[in-house]
Amino acid sequence: MPFLLDPQLSKAAAPLLAALADGTPPAVGDWRTRRTQVTKLLHRLSHALPANDQVTRCPYEITAADGTRLCATWYRPAGRPAGSAALFFHGGGMILGSVALFDRMIAKYAQDSGIPLLAIDYRLAPEHPHPIPVEDCYSALAWLHDNATDLEVDPTRIGVVGESAGGGLAAAVALLARERGGPRIARQLLVYPMLDDRTLQPDVHIEPSAFWTYGDNETGWRALLGRAAGSDAVEPWAAPARCQDFSDLPPSYLEVGEIDIFRDEVVRYALGLLGAGVSTELRVIAGVPHSFEWIAPGTDAAVRAFADRARWLARL
């Protein structure tokens, strides 16, 4: 029997659910249509969030590993003293999204937690397949660490935050930093992270109410990994669920809805962290699908989720 949507969410999302039911989903592999449709949807949904004009935005340029210049934005809450900071990696299934599209959500994290955030416009698949996106994100980590003094940041108190694909990239950056002996990450906040390229088999309890579908997921992973998707050749910093060694990773917060196709991979990742002695908080939220707080930010479930994320991030 399928899980039931949270009643508040079901009411708030009724127009969106009706529109989705009337439409024909794009074919698996059609990333262009998904990029267009989801970008339009997120643009509309983002305006339900506060603008947070008290959070200042300052543009920067970061040089990627291959020499490409990347745009980044520094979000700083008003009156924030010197101290900790975090990197923010936006969602979008590896095939869409931008800092501009996530601007109000990023500002909300900064305002609610009091922690400044550096958000990077990493390059997207399929035009820029693995390892380009994760290397772009790692370059942002190195840049923030190297420029910590100028930004009034303690380089030992840098965290990573990501939603969906960005959550997967945040986890991957933490793995890369450990592998390379790079800047040490103090904390990781992974919000319904996209971790496993093998999540393709529909769960009958989730599929009817999934907002990010199995077809969407296959499309995103194929765009990022090409023919390697699903094979034994995939490395952990491409799909962090492939990780076999969770030791020496940063304290972690993971959150996922029970009606999210990423639920089981997120739970497994949390268990891997706990099994390696990594302090980990896991939240599985009843009655909500992927991106639930975008769909209905005023519901009790969304308000609690925002508060939990801010509380955990503020500990940086």
Helix (H, G, I), strand (E, B) or coil at 196: coil
Helix (H, G, I), strand (E, B) or coil at 32: helix
User: Is 252 annotated as catalytic?
Assistant: no
**Active-site residue (options: 130, 197, 260, 291):** 260
Q: Tokens at residue 176, please?
A: 């890369």
Which residue shows structure tokens 């996106």? 133
**Active-site residue (options: 164, 209, 252, 291):** 164
Is the separation of the CB atoms in 256 and 283 below 8 Å? yes
- Distance (Å, whole) CA 265 – CA 298: 27
Which residue shows structure tokens 């994290």? 109
- Distance (Å, whole) CA 291 – CA 268: 20
Q: Tokens at residue 47, please?
A: 């305006």
Judge if the upstream peptide bond of residue 250 is cis by omega within 30 degrees of 0. no
User: Is 128 annotated as catalytic?
Assistant: no
Which residue shows structure tokens 């919000």? 191
- Distance (Å, whole) CA 86 – CA 80: 13
Is the separation of the CB atoms in 223 and 159 below 8 Å? no
Judge if the upstream peptide bond of residue 126 is cis by omega within 30 degrees of 0. yes
User: Is 205 annotated as catalytic?
Assistant: no
- Distance (Å, whole) CA 189 – CA 311: 11
Q: Which residues form the catalytic set?
A: 164, 260, 290
